[in-house]
Amino acid sequence: MFTGFPKGTEEFFLDIRFHNNATYYHENVERYRSEVQAPFYAFIEDLLPTLVHIDPRMEIRPYKILSRLRRDTRFTKDKTPYRDHLWTFFHREAEPREKSLGFWFEYGPGRLTWGLGSWGENRPLMDRFRRELAAKPSYYRGLIDSCGLPERHLMLSSDGFKRIAIPEGLPQALEPWYRSKDFGLIQTYPDIREASSRDILTHVRGDYLAMAPIYRMLQGMQDALNEEEENVQEKQ
């Protein structure tokens, strides 16, 4: 059972930040497993019933949900081999990364955040979302308002198109959603002190449940896009 991230989690991250090499990691791999991986796995296991309730097709294997400590440095100027933080990404099992939508959580020294978003820019999904907003603005405003996002300090975090025609009659409250290049909701007022107790689990679970209607809305649109693509492929 998750009881909070122990002091050793942050201490390991700080140490690997300043001793970022394979020798140090291999000398401390058991410490990583007990102080970092184990509490993250416990966090994941305790959240999984909530995520499966939101979507029964969610990935449930912790090692598929937790990011790797080892970085992929092939396509980046930063060649440091290890991260000084980790994140979780709850998404559908076997779903292609470029089409995945999920709930994420990130923790490290001075770093605590979570939310809901797409993995990168998913232009087809966002184009469909804009069409839906334009067609049924009252419905989608009601759905979004029902989630109580401002009260929970959850806000859009994605970049938006600055030059895009806004449909006539679209409520002003929906304009930032319509402009979004990709999709992301982020917790804007996390209390890092919660990370050391089970309070963080309660807070994250509550926010995930609040965002669930938006997840289901967007996942439904992605499912429709996938079905359309499959139908096209079958006819070819």
Asked, for residue 114, whether it belongs to a domain, the answer is: yes
Asked, for residue 1, whether it belongs to a domain, the answer is: no
Asked, for residue 72, whether it belongs to a domain, the answer is: yes
The CA-based dihedral angle spanning residues 39, 42, 47, 51, taken in that order and rounded to the nearest 10 degrees? 110
Asked, for residue 12, whether it belongs to a domain, the answer is: yes
Helix (H, G, I), strand (E, B) or coil at 92: strand
Total domains, the chain: 1
What are the pLDDT digits (tens) for 178-223?
A: 999 889 999 999 999 999 999 999 999 999 999 999 999 999 999 9
Asked, for residue 189, whether it belongs to a domain, the answer is: yes
What are the pLDDT digits (tens) for 117-150?
A: 998 888 999 999 999 999 999 999 999 999 999 9
Give the CATH number, domain containing residue 175: 3.30.930.20
Asked, for residue 110, whether it belongs to a domain, the answer is: yes
Domain span at residue 24? 7-235
* Residue 144 neighbours by CB under 8 Å, 6+ apart: 173, 174, 177, 214
Give φ, ψ of 120 to 5 degrees.
Answer: 80, -170
Asked, for residue 2, whether it belongs to a domain, the answer is: no
Asked, for residue 36, whether it belongs to a domain, the answer is: yes
Sequence-ordered alpha helix ranges (H) in the chain: 7-18, 22-27, 29-32, 38-54, 62-65, 123-135, 137-146, 175-179, 199-235
What are the pLDDT digits (tens) for 4-30?
A: 999 999 999 999 999 999 999 999 999
β-bridge mates for residue 133, sequence order: none
